[in-house]
Amino acid sequence: MSHPVSSPEVSSSALNDLNEAERQRIQAKSALFAPPTPITDDGRRELVGLSREELADVLTEIGEKPFRAKQLWHWIYHQGVTDFAKMSTIAKPLQAKLAEHFIVGRPSLTTQQTSKDDTRKFLFRFRDGQEAETVYIPDRREDRGAVCISSQVGCTLSCSFCHTGTQKLVRNLGAAEIVGQFMAARDSYGEWPSPKGETPRLLSTIVLMGMGEPLYNYDNVAKAMKIIMDGEGIALSRRRITLSTSGVVPMMDRCGDELGINLAISLHAVRNDLRDQLVPLNRKYPIEELIAACHRYPAASNSRRITFEYIMIRGVNDSDEEARELVRLIRGLPAKVNLIPFNPWPGSDFRPSTRERLARFAQIIMDAGYSAPIRMPRGKDILAACGQLKTQSERIRKHAHSTQQSDVSDGE
């Protein structure tokens, strides 16, 4: 496999062209796993997940004025109302007409478990029966917390340490399903209407670190994040959203330009030979290209650093030498490092690094001037910790043929 974009002779416009071609290939592949159109069995259209323009369009289709979109947006995303009859600024006859054509739904909750440490895991079921997990991780000291959202059911990548990676990609989640996870988690804590401005929020940050690779479902993820960031609705700042990627280099540029959200990189190894094994996508986009894309990432600054996630696996990637190499790799970047002791799951042979190793590794990074907190697993007792998510959903047979072929052809 060639890696032409890492060559220093390649000009920036040639790099753009290469990346553009690669982006198109990624998006064409992503379309094979598109979610079903969000329409109920009785033909009603789901309004959650539509952009403002699309919302105006569907209203025009039923003979209503597009300005109604603003009113509906407020009820759906600011007030969190799902019942048209409760939209009190809308006249009764119009409420009835809206209910005839549309719904404001949520994914249905299959199970909800709350851990000893208050982490809460939701298993959501979507209209076609597929399922994905969402986790709320409360801050230990303050009344705020992170919602960890899934972007796909399963994952095409098969990182050797990750439970989700053992589940084939079933399909991408749609914008409605991605926003819906956040809204349904918020229902569970009753946090409506959306707090305005800097008013404290319980569900205060979003991390796209659940099941799946968000940059392999870019369009739906981007649409969902734009809805969540819209100032007249949920209004969560782009500074409070972090997308984690295993390193889909060509899509990182787009994500930075269009969304400006924070970036987390699942690094896990500092040498290509080891990273090729742990994160097989590295064979396509090796470490040098990944780091170069981080240097280009427009939304990064000293106040908004790129997070490098590093799972500490005993005897595999946790030596002093590797810590020093890690520091060398991130030098010059506004960066911080999250050290995550490997979370075991049934069937994996890896073990977490020892406490002493973790402390020593962290110290080397901190001595170089970077923050390197050790992230103790949360929600371990309910299998909600990083890399432990997996559902029973399976790919339906008619998809199996085409997708298996593409899996084999480029090892993603």
List the catalytic residues: 133, 386
Among 135, 169, 224, 340, binds ligand SAH (CB under 6 A): 340
- What is the C-alpha separation between 372 and 354, in angstroms, rounded? 16
Considering CB distances under 5 to 8 angstroms, the limit depending on partner class, which of ligand SF4, ligand SAH, none binds residue 49? none
Instruction: Say whether residue 382 binds ligand SAH (CB under 6 A).
Output: no
3-state secondary structure of 61: helix
46, 253, 289, 309: which one binds ligand SAH (CB under 6 A) = 309
**Quick one: 71 or 166, whose CB is closer to ligand SF4?**
166
Q: Which two tokens stand for residue 165?
A: 């990676």
Q: Which of residues 134-173 bind ligand SAH (CB under 6 A)?
A: 161-162
Phi and psi angles of residue 75, each rounded to the nearest 5 degrees, phi first:
-65, -40
Query: What's phi and psi for 350, nearest 5 deg?
Result: -70, 155
Beta strands in 238-278 (DSSP E): 241-245, 262-266
Residue found by looking up tokens 């998510």 in the block:
389
Chosen residue from 103, 387, 390, 412 binding ligand SAH by CB under 6 A: 387
Chain residue at closest Cβ approach to ligand SAH: 387
Tokens of 339: 């050290």
- Let me know how many helices (H) and strands (E) the chain has, helices first: 12, 13
Dist CA 85 CA 75 (whole Å): 11
Query: Rounded to whole angstroms, how far apart are CA atoms 238 and 256?
Result: 11
The SS3 of residue 337 is strand
Answer with the entry of ligand SAH, ligand SF4, none that 309 interacts with (C-beta below 5 to 8 A by kind). ligand SAH
Q: Compute the least distance from the CB of residue 279 to ligand SF4, in Å.
A: 6
Which of ligand SAH, ligand SF4, none does residue 158 bind (CB under 5 to 8 Å by kind)? ligand SF4
| Residue 404: both structure tokens together | 């298996």
What is the footprint of ligand SAH within residues 162-221 (CB under 6 A)? 162, 209, 213
Distance CA 59, CA 404 (A): 40
Q: Does 224 bind ligand SAH (CB under 6 A)?
A: no
Instruction: Summarize as ranges the residues that interact with ligand SF4 (CB under 6 A).
Output: 155, 157-159, 162, 164-165, 212-213, 246, 266
- H or E element in which residue 307 lies: strand 306-312
Whichever of 202 and 311 has its CB closer to ligand SF4, that residue is 311
State which residue, 180 or 341, has the beta carbon closest to ligand SAH.
Answer: 341
Whichever of 244 and 353 has its CB closer to ligand SAH, that residue is: 244
Task: List interacting residues with ligand SAH (CB under 6 A).
Answer: 161-162, 209, 213, 244-246, 266, 309, 311, 340, 342-343, 386-387
